[in-house]
């Protein structure tokens, strides 16, 4: 968890050009970017949802109440998977790997995930925020 705190504290969403990003767009970029890196053997999805909430809170997205977006994400889990695959599925042929228990990647794939088109991710997250407001707030 200390490693995650270091990563999150190193992201300055309230400074410089990042402060001008829309809260939902910033959350989509950061959280989906994290889940594509997939740094942990377990818990990446839970951390991904935490990061969405964290970025929305840092942007003061909802000043009155907590916005439980993760409930809406879990309600639309098939769409969530489709959004994840919108980026990763097309990249799969470019990734050289060997079948080991942890899928050992043999080539440098950092740029594939560092510079991804987050449009479908932001659209999905906007839909989840809308659903959260309509159903849970």
Q: According to the annotation, is 110 in a ligand binding site?
A: no
Cα–Cα distances in angstroms (integers) from residue 8 to residues 70, 85, 92, in the given order: 18, 25, 28
Q: According to the annotation, is 49 in a ligand binding site?
A: yes
Q: According to the annotation, is 77 in a ligand binding site?
A: no
Alpha carbon distance 112, 88 (integer Å) = 9
Q: According to the annotation, is 130 in a ligand binding site?
A: no
Would you state the structure tokens that stand for residue 48, as one six-digit string?
A: 């991904």
* Residue 53 falls in the annotated catalytic set: no
Closest-CA residue to 84 (of 44, 53, 41, 57): 44
Q: According to the annotation, is 42 in a ligand binding site?
A: yes
Alpha carbon distance 26, 19 (integer Å) = 9
Q: According to the annotation, is 16 in a ligand binding site?
A: no
Q: Which of 38, 53, 54, 121 is catalytic?
A: 38
Alpha carbon distance 76, 95 (integer Å) = 28
Annotated binding site for ATP: 42-49
Annotated binding site: 42-49
* Residues with catalytic function: 38
């Amino acid at each position: 968890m200390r490693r995650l705190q270091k990563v999150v504290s190193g992201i300055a969403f309230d400074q410089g050009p990042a402060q001008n990003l829309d809260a939902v767009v910033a959350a989509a970029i950061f959280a989906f970017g994290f889940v594509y890196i997939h740094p942990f053997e377990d818990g990446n999805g839970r951390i991904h949802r935490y990061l969405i909430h964290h970025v929305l809170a840092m942007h003061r997205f909802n000043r009155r109440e907590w916005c439980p977006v993760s409930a809406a994400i879990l309600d639309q889990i098939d769409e969530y998977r489709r959004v994840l695959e919108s980026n990763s599925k097309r990249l799969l042929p470019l990734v050289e790997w060997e079948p080991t228990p942890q899928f050992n990647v043999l080539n440098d794939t950092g740029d594939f995930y560092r510079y991804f088109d987050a449009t479908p991710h932001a659209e999905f997250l906007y839909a989840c925020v809308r659903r959260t407001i309509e159903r849970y707030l």
